[in-house]
Chains A and B, each alone.
Chain A
Amino acid sequence: MEQNYPIKRIIDDKGILVDESYEQTINEELVKDLYYNMLRIRTYDRKSINLQRQGRLGTYAPFEGQEAAQVGSALALEENDWVFPTYRDHGATLTFGKSMTRTFLYWNGRVEGCVPPEGRNIFPPAVPIATQLPHAAGAAWAEKLRGTKNASIAYFGDGATSEGDFHEGLNFASVFKVPVVFFNQNNGYAISVPMEKQMNSKTIAQKSVAYGMPGVRIDGNDCLAVYFETKKAFDRARNGDGPTLIEAVTWRKGAHTTADDPSKYRPAEQGQHIVDPMERMELFMKNYGYWDEQWIEEMKEKTMNEVEEAVEEMENYPAPNVEDVFDHVYAVMPKQLAEQKESYLAHLERR
């Protein structure tokens, strides 16, 4: 089965173009766009870990090592598409247009962090595992019924494939042939449990066979491969050819969250041989004449400034409103809830 799903690569670990069919399609604008976005989300991610350590952010789920998978897939979307992320996919949602300030706010316990900009269909991150897959199928189903060319993408990890909702989401999507891309980031571990203990199949892509949909296994650290294969899956979706399961094989370099210590369950040497996705892009850019030292320095400064400004905005954000505890539960607050609110606010007044 494994040999039926060879890992697709466009550039190898040394940054050499291994699929020459892309020679004409790859251009400077795309390469720089991919690199810039990876740089941007990595700067954001490392800053978040630091802020958490300084007590300026709550528990945080880092994604270092998965930048190529998240940026490559998110740049393949069109603006009216729907995104159903998990709590580790803010690299993808930032790339798709979520505000960085709001993303920081999310990790600082603020519900405002779930709200995407107007016109961007980014669902709040799924915190339970795999529940977002049926949502993505349903939103895509609505687009199909309306006859648009919009599609949806569900992000999920290797552990999510064990959940019932993985099956139900893929099954509904294929039965109703809806325009959705199931984008799996196989990062090796579900908290502490490695893939070989999670499932007895050697690949996740092969699970697509059960649903009669295409399954694609890609090198998730090859940003170009991720971008082009995700685009192809979206082309199929927009053309009425239904869903695709993509397995982007990648590596969670860090901990599950800032509250987790991977040294308890993951040998230190494991994953050391994996070439970092940004390093690989850098090698490619140097090999093929895209590397521009001055541009890189400018982009580093730009992303640092953006991140610092977002942190400042997050830290100076108006204090949370107590009324928000009550106000968005129903469209019209039931009388008993209105009384609870009134009574609590009166209690606060008395203090």
Chain B
Amino acid sequence: MTKMKESSHEEVMTTQMTMIQAINDGMRLLLKEDERTIILGEDIGKNGGVFRATEGLQEKFGADRVVDTPLAESGIIGTSIGLAVNGFRPIAEIQFLGFIYPAYEQIMTHVSRIRMRSMSRFTVPMVIRAPYGAGIRAPEIHSDSTETLFTHMPGIKVVCPSNPYDAKGLLIAAMEDPDPVLVLETMKNYRSQREEVPIGKYTVEIGKGNIVREGSDVTLIAWGAMIAIAEKAADQAEKKGISCEIIDLRTLYPIDRDMIAKSVQKTSRAVIIHEAHHTGGLGNDIVSIINDTSFLYLRAPIERVTGFDVPVPFFTLEEHYLPTPARVVEGIEKVVHF
């Protein structure tokens, strides 16, 4: 455990954590500090979750608060709605984003619009956690990144942390939010890095991106597992004399338009990187944001490096689906040498 200087006058106790440990720690705090917190999901109790996100929590807080549910995503979200309107604060774990579709109706028709339909008389403050993304050689259908199915949905917020600090801070912020929040957890980063994470409660503001690297020639916009890809590409571009600024969006709705605009107005170029399919991907919205805010600053058309319009392939071919540093470097060179 070490002390991290968080602001000029305050020292915060921190410890090394992976992303999955930071998520576990966040949920432990939420269970401890708010008796309304209840966690529902498949295999999350005794087993501690297939990724161990809830490890030890049922043992500590009991089977009434960390609940092994039947294997039914619509039932998990549907009963979470009932719990949430009746005073509880559910965290619903969907084992993999690729399995959320049976619950899509509940999320689209009820979670997202019960506030609107009842003129705020009924609200469902709840968090839905879902591991997502490719690149861990998982069996088929475990690797989807269909975030735009949810960013397109008015009434919910969508966050996507890429590192341990943001994962815990965004989870706590999501639980404190009066509206439902979908937390997409990039599986590839669950254990890929350790960093100092505060041991107490803190939040990362929903709707705020993070500039993870400052640069002057081109803005790379990414989230989740694509941050590491963007960083590798930026390192390679650096060697070619190109300076990249990297934005980790962290929140996919509501998106941090001001940060995107400010950065692109500085660099005049943008490359958007996402592992979701090309058509209808969030990259299109980001292009629109740049168009709306920064059109006259642009010195090149915006480039998108994305997954293809194909189902995520079986894992022996997934590297050919996912954006690679090499593809991103090509995109960077294209906009820089336009």
Taking beta carbons and an 8 Å cutoff, which residues of A are in contact with B? 82, 111-112, 114-116, 121, 123-124, 127-128, 131, 133-143, 145-146, 152, 164-165, 167-169, 171-172, 175-176, 324, 328-332, 334-337
With A123-B122, A137-B78, A168-B72 given, is the CB distance from A142 to B115 under 8 Å? no
Residues of chain A lying within 8 A (CB to CB) of residue B87: 142, 146
Sample of 28 A–B contacts (CB below 8 Å): A114-B117, A114-B118, A121-B86, A124-B117, A124-B122, A128-B105, A131-B105, A134-B78, A135-B79, A138-B82, A138-B84, A138-B85, A139-B82, A140-B82, A142-B86, A152-B82, A165-B105, A165-B106, A168-B70, A168-B75, A172-B75, A328-B116, A328-B120, A329-B116, A330-B155, A334-B253, A335-B254, A335-B257
Task: Pick the contact of B81: A114, A134, A143 (CB < 8 A).
Answer: A134
Number of chain B interface residues as a range: 35 or more
- Please report B residues at the A interface, Cβ cutoff 8 Å: 38, 64, 67, 69-70, 72, 74-75, 77-88, 102, 105-106, 109-110, 113-123, 154-155, 157, 177-179, 207, 253-255, 257
Per the bound structure, the CA–CA distance linking A123 and B86 in Å amounts to: 11
Secondary structure of the A contact surface, majority rule: helix
- Contacting residues, chain A, for B77 (C-beta < 8 A): 134
Min CB distance, A341 to chain B, in Å? 12
Q: Which residues of B contact A165 (CB under 8 A)?
A: 74-75, 78, 105-106
Taking the nearest CB of chain A, how far is it from the CB of B57, in angstroms?
Answer: 17
Chain A residue numbers with a CB within 8 Å of B69 are: 172, 175
B78 nearest CB neighbor, chain A only? A134
Chain A residues with Cβ below 8 Å from B117 are 111, 114, 124
Residues of B close to A114: CB separation below 8 A: 117-119, 121
Of B84, B110, B255, the most chain A CB neighbours within 10 A belong to B110
Contacts of B85 in A (CB 8 A): 123, 135, 138-139
Residues of chain A with a CB closer than 8 A to B80's CB:
138
* Residues in chain B near residue A172, CB distance under 8 A: 69-70, 72, 75, 78-79
Q: Which chain A residue has the least Cβ–Cβ distance from B67?
A: A176
Give the contacting residue for A111; candidates B82, B105, B119; CB below 8 A: B119
Q: Which residues of B contact A136 (CB under 8 A)?
A: 82
Q: How far is the CA of A331 from the CA of B179 in the complex (A)?
A: 7
**A115 with B121: CB separation less than 8 A:** yes
A124-B114 contact given A131-B106, A329-B154, A334-B207, CB 8 Å threshold? yes
Would you call B79 and A138 a contact (CB within 8 A)? yes
B37 to chain A, nearest CB (A): 12
Q: How far is the CA of A344 from the CA of B117 in the complex (A)?
A: 21
Residues of B within 8 A of A115 (CB): 118-119, 121
> Contacts A138-B81, A141-B82, A145-B88; is A124 near B118 (CB within 8 Å)?
yes
Given contacts A114-B119, A116-B121, A331-B178, contact A134 B79 (CB under 8 A): yes
Q: Which 8 A-B pairs have the closest CB atoms?
A: A138-B82, A134-B78, A168-B75, A334-B254, A138-B79, A142-B86, A331-B178, A139-B82
Please name the residue on chain A nearest to B113 by beta carbon: A329
CB distance from A16 to the nearest CB of B (A): 41
When chains A and B are docked, how far (Å) is the Cα of A335 from the Cα of B256? 9
- Chain A residues with Cβ under 8 A from B83's Cβ? 138-139, 141-142
In whole Å, how far is B238's beta carbon from the nearest beta carbon of chain A?
33
